[in-house]
Amino acid sequence: MSATVELTKENFDQTVTDNEFVLIDFWAEWCGPCKQFAPVYEKAAEDNPDLVFGKVDTEAQPELAQAFGIQSIPTLMIVRDQVAVFAQPGALPEAALTDVIGQARKLDMDQVRQQIAEQQAQQAQQAQQQGGQGA
């Protein structure tokens, strides 16, 4: 029995909404580095049973890959409280994956949400300023 969940466009939103911490491996059957990363990812899933480890087959779910702007695979994404806090292409070695999971666990999500709100406010202010210049 696999410790990972196959994510599709049908169950993706529900999985991310219902779980506080979701790791997502974007992969494809033909991808050599994806196949090398798979056992590392599977072991991490077994070592962290409190987290959800999802896999998105980019060939079967092109809409999901496109929605997240996946350019190369494998790409690992971590979503906490429905916020993508990590996204990086490439097959991570076991130690690096363990480190990334540890760092993501330590994030203060209130602080992350505050930073996002500040960035959005700055972007809105810049857009407003640029819109006023053309008049």
d(CA 34, CA 75): 9
- The answer to whether residue 104 is catalytic is no
Q: Which of 7, 23, 24, 31 is catalytic?
A: 31
- The answer to whether residue 31 is catalytic is yes
Q: Which of 7, 34, 76, 97 is catalytic?
A: 34
ω into 74 cis (within 30 of 0): yes
User: What's the gap between Cα 107 and its chain centre?
Assistant: 15
**Length of the chain (residues):** 135
d(CA 40, CA 27): 13
Which residues participate in catalysis according to the annotation? 31, 34
